[in-house]
């Protein structure tokens, strides 16, 4: 029993990784009618406030291999992982495989609702390995995901 408590305590002391894929650096200017007017910096600032005493690691990349490297890092360094893989959601078997190997709870986030958009967005390589998906709530989806992640690790 004490081993479980130590593991739970260890998970709580680890940060929540929030990883963002391609083009999310353009938030605030890219198709605000779909993605909203918040920048990624705005979202990060709100999450830092919402996290309270919990630590978050917030990153964005346009490079698939870098995102895979960060998922692998999160597997050992994070208590939970929130991922908005952007277009890699629909294309990346490499990301799927990295997430499948990840040993922490994964929450998928999308600003828009991919299921209500173009048909090519209906294929999803992230959802099958995620604990859950939050989609269609704009930037608030990140806040909902962080709340869920913190509950999962406490």
Task: Supply the residues annotated as catalytic.
Answer: 35, 110
The full length of the chain comes to 154
The tokens describing 121, both together, are 């967005």
Tell me the Cα Rg of the chain. Answer: 15
Distance (Å, whole) CA 84 – CA 38: 15
**Rounded to an integer, what distance in angstroms lies between the CA atom of residue 149 and that of residue 91?**
25
Phi and psi at residue 130, to the nearest 5°: -95, 150
CB neighbours of 4 closer than 8 A, spacing ≥ 6? Answer: none
């Amino acid at each position: 029993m004490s081993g479980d408590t130590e593991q739970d305590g260890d998970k709580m002391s680890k940060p929540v990784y929030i990883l963002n894929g391609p083009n999310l650096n353009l938030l605030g200017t890219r198709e605000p009618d779909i993605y909203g007017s918040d920048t990624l910096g705005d979202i990060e600032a709100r999450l830092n406030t919402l996290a309270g005493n919990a630590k978050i690691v917030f990153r964005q990349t346009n490079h698939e291999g870098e995102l895979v490297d960060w998922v692998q890092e999160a597997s050992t360094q994070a208590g939970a992982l929130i991922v908005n893989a952007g277009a890699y959601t629909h294309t990346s078997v490499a990301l799927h495989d990295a997430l499948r190997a990840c040993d922490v709870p994964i929450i998928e986030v999308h600003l828009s609702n991919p299921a209500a958009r173009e048909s090519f967005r209906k294929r999803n390589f992230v959802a099958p390995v995620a604990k859950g998906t939050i989609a269609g709530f704009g930037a608030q989806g990140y806040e909902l995901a962080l709340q869920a992640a913190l509950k999962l690790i406490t």
